[in-house]
Amino acid sequence: MQPSASSPIAPMLAKAVPEVPAPDSVAGGLSYEPKWDGFRAIVYADGEGAVESVEIGSRGSKMLTRYFPELVEAFRSILPGPCVLDGEIVVPTGEPGKQRLDWEALSQRIHPAASRVKLLSEKTPATFVAFDLLAIGDESFVDRPFAERRAALEEFAGDLPAPIALTRTTTDVDVARHWLVEFEGAGLDGVVAKPFSGVYAPNKRTMLKIKHHRTADVVALGYRIHKSGQGVGSLLVGLYGDDGMLRNVGGVSAFSDAKRLALIDELAPLVERDESGEAVTGETDRSRFSSGKDVSFVRLRPERVLEVRYDQMEGMRFRHTAQFERWRPDREAASCTFDQLDRPIAYDLADVLT
Protein backbone atom coordinates (compact mmCIF):
# COMPACT_ATOMS: atom_id res chain seq x y z
CA MET A 1 0.00 0.00 0.00
CA GLN A 2 1.25 3.48 -0.88
CA PRO A 3 1.82 5.44 2.38
CA SER A 4 0.13 8.83 2.50
CA ALA A 5 -1.14 11.38 5.01
CA SER A 6 -4.67 10.02 4.54
CA SER A 7 -3.39 6.48 5.09
CA PRO A 8 -0.39 6.97 7.42
CA ILE A 9 2.15 4.21 7.89
CA ALA A 10 3.48 3.10 11.28
CA PRO A 11 7.26 3.57 11.50
CA MET A 12 9.61 0.62 11.59
CA LEU A 13 11.04 0.09 15.08
CA ALA A 14 14.22 -1.25 16.67
CA LYS A 15 14.91 -3.76 19.44
CA ALA A 16 17.62 -3.13 21.99
CA VAL A 17 20.82 -5.18 21.96
CA PRO A 18 23.68 -4.85 24.46
CA GLU A 19 26.47 -3.99 22.02
CA VAL A 20 27.10 -2.96 18.43
CA PRO A 21 26.74 -6.22 16.45
CA ALA A 22 29.28 -7.42 13.90
CA PRO A 23 28.21 -6.91 10.28
CA ASP A 24 28.25 -10.65 9.54
CA SER A 25 25.86 -11.37 12.44
CA VAL A 26 22.95 -10.75 10.04
CA ALA A 27 22.57 -12.26 6.59
CA GLY A 28 23.35 -9.64 3.97
CA GLY A 29 25.26 -7.43 6.38
CA LEU A 30 24.45 -4.33 8.41
CA SER A 31 24.45 -0.59 7.90
CA TYR A 32 25.16 1.54 10.98
CA GLU A 33 23.96 5.08 11.69
CA PRO A 34 23.69 7.46 14.67
CA LYS A 35 20.57 7.17 16.83
CA TRP A 36 18.95 10.61 16.96
CA ASP A 37 17.17 11.66 20.15
CA GLY A 38 14.18 13.65 18.93
CA PHE A 39 10.63 13.21 17.63
CA ARG A 40 10.25 10.35 15.16
CA ALA A 41 8.51 11.78 12.11
CA ILE A 42 7.23 10.54 8.77
CA VAL A 43 6.93 13.36 6.26
CA TYR A 44 4.23 13.14 3.59
CA ALA A 45 5.04 15.66 0.83
CA ASP A 46 2.32 15.53 -1.80
CA GLY A 47 1.56 17.29 -5.06
CA GLU A 48 1.60 17.04 -8.83
CA GLY A 49 5.22 17.27 -9.89
CA ALA A 50 6.12 19.78 -7.18
CA VAL A 51 5.40 19.62 -3.45
CA GLU A 52 2.10 21.36 -2.72
CA SER A 53 1.04 20.00 0.67
CA VAL A 54 2.97 18.64 3.64
CA GLU A 55 1.92 16.61 6.68
CA ILE A 56 4.23 15.40 9.44
CA GLY A 57 3.12 12.25 11.24
CA SER A 58 4.44 11.10 14.61
CA ARG A 59 5.27 7.57 15.73
CA GLY A 60 1.65 7.19 16.88
CA SER A 61 0.36 8.72 13.61
CA LYS A 62 -0.62 11.93 15.43
CA MET A 63 0.05 14.85 13.12
CA LEU A 64 2.85 17.21 14.21
CA THR A 65 2.46 19.54 11.22
CA ARG A 66 1.19 22.61 13.09
CA TYR A 67 4.08 22.57 15.58
CA PHE A 68 6.87 22.91 12.98
CA PRO A 69 5.86 25.56 10.42
CA GLU A 70 9.49 26.24 9.52
CA LEU A 71 9.96 22.60 8.47
CA VAL A 72 6.72 22.58 6.50
CA GLU A 73 7.92 25.60 4.54
CA ALA A 74 11.34 24.00 4.02
CA PHE A 75 9.82 20.77 2.70
CA ARG A 76 7.67 22.74 0.24
CA SER A 77 10.53 24.81 -1.06
CA ILE A 78 13.49 22.42 -0.83
CA LEU A 79 12.29 18.88 -1.60
CA PRO A 80 12.77 18.03 -5.29
CA GLY A 81 9.32 16.45 -5.52
CA PRO A 82 6.53 14.54 -3.75
CA CYS A 83 7.84 11.85 -1.43
CA VAL A 84 7.45 10.07 1.91
CA LEU A 85 10.47 10.31 4.21
CA ASP A 86 11.17 8.68 7.57
CA GLY A 87 13.39 10.53 9.99
CA GLU A 88 13.74 12.47 13.21
CA ILE A 89 12.93 16.05 14.17
CA VAL A 90 15.59 17.55 16.41
CA VAL A 91 16.41 21.01 17.76
CA PRO A 92 20.10 21.99 17.84
CA THR A 93 21.12 24.73 20.27
CA GLY A 94 24.39 26.28 21.36
CA GLU A 95 26.95 28.54 19.79
CA PRO A 96 28.78 27.48 16.61
CA GLY A 97 31.34 24.80 17.38
CA LYS A 98 29.50 23.74 20.55
CA GLN A 99 26.07 22.74 19.33
CA ARG A 100 24.16 19.76 20.69
CA LEU A 101 20.65 18.35 20.61
CA ASP A 102 18.32 20.08 23.05
CA TRP A 103 15.43 17.89 24.17
CA GLU A 104 13.88 20.55 26.38
CA ALA A 105 13.79 23.06 23.53
CA LEU A 106 12.26 20.39 21.28
CA SER A 107 9.59 19.41 23.80
CA GLN A 108 8.54 23.05 24.21
CA ARG A 109 7.50 23.08 20.56
CA ILE A 110 4.38 21.04 21.41
CA HIS A 111 2.24 23.99 22.47
CA PRO A 112 -1.46 24.74 21.93
CA ALA A 113 -0.98 28.46 21.17
CA ALA A 114 -0.21 29.26 17.53
CA SER A 115 1.58 32.46 18.57
CA ARG A 116 3.90 30.48 20.84
CA VAL A 117 4.59 27.92 18.10
CA LYS A 118 5.49 30.73 15.68
CA LEU A 119 7.81 32.38 18.21
CA LEU A 120 9.63 29.13 18.99
CA SER A 121 9.92 28.22 15.30
CA GLU A 122 11.99 31.40 14.93
CA LYS A 123 13.83 31.21 18.26
CA THR A 124 14.68 27.48 18.25
CA PRO A 125 14.19 26.24 14.67
CA ALA A 126 14.10 22.51 14.14
CA THR A 127 16.08 20.25 11.81
CA PHE A 128 14.74 17.16 10.06
CA VAL A 129 17.26 14.30 9.80
CA ALA A 130 16.15 11.85 7.10
CA PHE A 131 17.18 8.21 7.39
CA ASP A 132 14.75 6.26 5.18
CA LEU A 133 12.75 6.67 1.99
CA LEU A 134 9.29 5.16 1.67
CA ALA A 135 8.07 6.67 -1.58
CA ILE A 136 8.91 9.03 -4.44
CA GLY A 137 5.81 10.29 -6.18
CA ASP A 138 3.56 7.29 -6.84
CA GLU A 139 6.45 4.82 -6.51
CA SER A 140 6.54 2.94 -3.21
CA PHE A 141 9.84 1.76 -1.75
CA VAL A 142 8.36 0.01 1.28
CA ASP A 143 8.88 -3.51 -0.07
CA ARG A 144 12.42 -2.89 -1.25
CA PRO A 145 15.51 -3.83 0.79
CA PHE A 146 17.16 -1.11 2.84
CA ALA A 147 20.23 -1.10 0.56
CA GLU A 148 18.01 0.08 -2.32
CA ARG A 149 16.07 2.53 -0.16
CA ARG A 150 19.26 4.12 1.15
CA ALA A 151 20.76 4.48 -2.33
CA ALA A 152 17.55 6.10 -3.57
CA LEU A 153 17.44 8.40 -0.53
CA GLU A 154 21.00 9.59 -1.18
CA GLU A 155 20.20 10.31 -4.82
CA PHE A 156 16.93 12.06 -3.95
CA ALA A 157 17.91 14.06 -0.85
CA GLY A 158 21.67 13.81 -0.45
CA ASP A 159 22.45 17.40 -1.44
CA LEU A 160 19.55 19.21 0.24
CA PRO A 161 20.40 22.25 2.39
CA ALA A 162 19.44 22.89 6.03
CA PRO A 163 17.10 22.43 7.79
CA ILE A 164 16.93 19.05 6.02
CA ALA A 165 19.85 16.71 6.65
CA LEU A 166 20.66 13.15 5.65
CA THR A 167 21.96 10.95 8.44
CA ARG A 168 25.40 9.52 7.89
CA THR A 169 25.97 5.77 7.66
CA THR A 170 28.91 3.37 7.77
CA THR A 171 29.54 -0.32 7.17
CA ASP A 172 32.59 -0.26 9.46
CA VAL A 173 31.65 -1.68 12.86
CA ASP A 174 34.66 -0.05 14.51
CA VAL A 175 33.51 3.36 13.29
CA ALA A 176 30.01 2.61 14.63
CA ARG A 177 31.43 1.70 18.03
CA HIS A 178 33.40 4.94 18.01
CA TRP A 179 30.20 6.86 17.22
CA LEU A 180 28.47 5.23 20.17
CA VAL A 181 30.95 6.89 22.52
CA GLU A 182 31.80 10.11 20.70
CA PHE A 183 28.40 11.30 19.47
CA GLU A 184 26.83 11.16 22.92
CA GLY A 185 28.70 14.39 23.61
CA ALA A 186 26.44 16.07 21.03
CA GLY A 187 23.28 14.73 22.69
CA LEU A 188 22.73 11.67 20.49
CA ASP A 189 21.18 8.52 21.87
CA GLY A 190 23.35 5.67 20.57
CA VAL A 191 23.69 3.71 17.32
CA VAL A 192 21.19 1.91 15.06
CA ALA A 193 22.08 -1.14 12.94
CA LYS A 194 19.90 -1.89 9.91
CA PRO A 195 19.98 -5.11 7.86
CA PHE A 196 20.78 -4.25 4.23
CA SER A 197 18.35 -6.92 3.02
CA GLY A 198 15.43 -5.88 5.23
CA VAL A 199 12.25 -4.41 3.76
CA TYR A 200 10.44 -1.60 5.58
CA ALA A 201 8.36 -3.39 8.23
CA PRO A 202 5.84 -1.01 9.86
CA ASN A 203 5.60 -1.32 13.65
CA LYS A 204 8.04 -4.27 13.65
CA ARG A 205 11.30 -4.28 15.61
CA THR A 206 13.53 -5.42 12.77
CA MET A 207 16.31 -2.88 13.34
CA LEU A 208 18.79 -3.07 16.21
CA LYS A 209 19.52 -0.21 18.62
CA ILE A 210 22.45 0.15 20.96
CA LYS A 211 22.10 2.73 23.71
CA HIS A 212 24.26 3.85 26.59
CA HIS A 213 23.73 2.02 29.86
CA ARG A 214 25.13 3.26 33.14
CA THR A 215 24.33 2.71 36.79
CA ALA A 216 23.95 5.11 39.69
CA ASP A 217 23.03 4.84 43.36
CA VAL A 218 20.02 7.03 44.12
CA VAL A 219 17.68 7.76 47.05
CA ALA A 220 14.02 6.67 47.06
CA LEU A 221 11.90 9.84 47.50
CA GLY A 222 8.41 8.45 46.98
CA TYR A 223 6.22 6.29 44.83
CA ARG A 224 3.20 6.54 42.54
CA ILE A 225 0.39 4.02 42.64
CA HIS A 226 0.13 1.92 39.48
CA LYS A 227 -2.56 2.94 36.99
CA SER A 228 -4.43 -0.28 37.86
CA GLY A 229 -4.80 1.02 41.42
CA GLN A 230 -2.78 -1.90 42.76
CA GLY A 231 0.84 -1.67 43.91
CA VAL A 232 3.70 0.68 43.09
CA GLY A 233 3.71 1.98 39.52
CA SER A 234 6.97 3.90 39.75
CA LEU A 235 9.54 5.06 42.27
CA LEU A 236 10.69 8.67 42.40
CA VAL A 237 14.41 8.96 43.07
CA GLY A 238 16.85 11.73 43.91
CA LEU A 239 20.47 12.77 44.25
CA TYR A 240 22.20 15.28 46.53
CA GLY A 241 23.70 18.39 44.97
CA ASP A 242 26.76 20.35 46.05
CA ASP A 243 24.48 22.50 48.22
CA GLY A 244 23.31 19.47 50.19
CA MET A 245 19.79 19.63 48.71
CA LEU A 246 18.13 16.42 47.58
CA ARG A 247 16.77 16.82 44.04
CA ASN A 248 14.33 14.68 42.11
CA VAL A 249 16.19 13.20 39.12
CA GLY A 250 13.48 11.00 37.63
CA GLY A 251 11.53 7.80 38.00
CA VAL A 252 12.06 4.05 38.05
CA SER A 253 9.43 1.71 36.64
CA ALA A 254 8.79 -1.53 34.69
CA PHE A 255 8.11 -3.68 37.78
CA SER A 256 6.38 -7.04 37.50
CA ASP A 257 2.88 -7.44 38.97
CA ALA A 258 4.28 -9.35 41.92
CA LYS A 259 7.04 -6.80 42.53
CA ARG A 260 4.58 -3.87 42.43
CA LEU A 261 2.47 -5.43 45.18
CA ALA A 262 5.49 -6.45 47.27
CA LEU A 263 6.91 -2.91 47.14
CA ILE A 264 3.87 -1.51 48.96
CA ASP A 265 4.69 -3.59 52.05
CA GLU A 266 8.44 -3.21 51.60
CA LEU A 267 8.26 0.60 51.56
CA ALA A 268 5.54 0.98 54.21
CA PRO A 269 8.01 1.67 57.09
CA LEU A 270 9.47 4.60 55.10
CA VAL A 271 6.18 6.35 54.30
CA GLU A 272 5.99 9.86 55.76
CA ARG A 273 2.85 10.30 57.87
CA ASP A 274 1.08 13.30 59.37
CA GLU A 275 -0.08 13.60 62.97
CA SER A 276 -3.22 11.63 62.22
CA GLY A 277 -1.21 8.76 60.76
CA GLU A 278 -2.22 9.47 57.15
CA ALA A 279 0.39 9.11 54.42
CA VAL A 280 1.83 12.44 53.28
CA THR A 281 1.55 13.03 49.53
CA GLY A 282 3.08 15.49 47.10
CA GLU A 283 2.97 16.37 43.41
CA THR A 284 5.73 16.53 40.84
CA ASP A 285 5.91 19.48 38.46
CA ARG A 286 3.51 19.31 35.56
CA SER A 287 4.66 19.53 31.96
CA ARG A 288 2.91 19.71 28.60
CA PHE A 289 3.17 15.92 28.46
CA SER A 290 1.63 15.33 31.91
CA SER A 291 -1.40 17.58 31.40
CA GLY A 292 -4.44 15.77 32.78
CA LYS A 293 -2.35 13.00 34.34
CA ASP A 294 -2.14 12.20 38.05
CA VAL A 295 1.24 13.54 39.21
CA SER A 296 0.69 12.84 42.91
CA PHE A 297 2.98 10.55 44.87
CA VAL A 298 3.37 9.10 48.35
CA ARG A 299 6.34 10.66 50.15
CA LEU A 300 9.07 8.46 51.61
CA ARG A 301 11.67 9.38 54.19
CA PRO A 302 14.92 9.68 52.15
CA GLU A 303 16.73 6.81 53.80
CA ARG A 304 16.76 3.93 51.35
CA VAL A 305 19.27 3.62 48.50
CA LEU A 306 18.82 1.69 45.28
CA GLU A 307 21.01 1.12 42.24
CA VAL A 308 19.40 2.02 38.90
CA ARG A 309 20.37 1.64 35.27
CA TYR A 310 20.06 4.70 33.05
CA ASP A 311 21.19 5.81 29.61
CA GLN A 312 21.93 9.54 29.83
CA MET A 313 21.20 12.77 31.67
CA GLU A 314 19.23 15.76 30.42
CA GLY A 315 20.36 18.62 32.61
CA MET A 316 19.83 17.48 36.20
CA ARG A 317 17.47 14.58 35.43
CA PHE A 318 17.56 11.16 33.82
CA ARG A 319 16.63 11.62 30.15
CA HIS A 320 14.47 8.47 30.17
CA THR A 321 12.89 6.32 32.86
CA ALA A 322 15.55 4.40 34.78
CA GLN A 323 15.45 0.67 35.51
CA PHE A 324 15.70 -0.93 38.96
CA GLU A 325 18.83 -3.01 39.53
CA ARG A 326 18.99 -3.74 43.28
CA TRP A 327 18.68 -2.26 46.73
CA ARG A 328 21.89 -0.94 48.27
CA PRO A 329 21.62 -1.38 52.08
CA ASP A 330 25.37 -0.77 52.29
CA ARG A 331 25.06 2.83 51.08
CA GLU A 332 24.12 5.90 53.10
CA ALA A 333 21.62 8.19 51.42
CA ALA A 334 23.87 11.22 51.88
CA SER A 335 26.54 9.53 49.75
CA CYS A 336 24.30 9.56 46.67
CA THR A 337 25.50 12.68 44.86
CA PHE A 338 25.71 13.95 41.29
CA ASP A 339 29.48 13.49 41.42
CA GLN A 340 29.11 9.77 40.71
CA LEU A 341 27.49 10.34 37.29
CA ASP A 342 29.43 9.71 34.11
CA ARG A 343 29.30 12.81 31.88
CA PRO A 344 30.09 12.48 28.15
CA ILE A 345 32.81 14.60 26.55
CA ALA A 346 31.29 17.49 24.60
CA TYR A 347 31.10 16.99 20.83
CA ASP A 348 29.86 19.48 18.24
CA LEU A 349 26.58 18.46 16.61
CA ALA A 350 27.65 20.08 13.35
CA ASP A 351 30.36 17.44 13.01
CA VAL A 352 27.74 14.71 13.34
CA LEU A 353 25.59 16.26 10.62
CA THR A 354 28.54 16.73 8.25
Q: Which of 15, 35, 62, 194 is catalytic?
A: 35
226-233: long-range pairs with CB below 8 Å, 24+: 226/260, 230/260, 230/261, 231/255, 231/257, 231/259, 231/260, 231/261, 231/262, 231/263, 231/264, 232/260, 232/263, 232/264, 232/267, 233/260
Which burial class, exposed, middle or buried, applies to 175 when counting CB atoms under 10 A from its CB (0-12, 13-18, 19+)? middle
Q: What are the residues facing 57 on neighbouring strands?
A: 42, 63
In which region does residue 29 sit, left (phi positive, over 0), alpha (psi from -120 to 50) or beta (all else)? left
Taking the C-alpha atoms of residue 148 and residue 197, their distance in angstroms, rounded to an integer, is 9
Q: Do 22 and 173 meet the contact criterion of CB atoms below 8 Å apart?
A: yes
Q: Is 35 a known active-site residue?
A: yes
Q: Return the active site residues.
A: 35
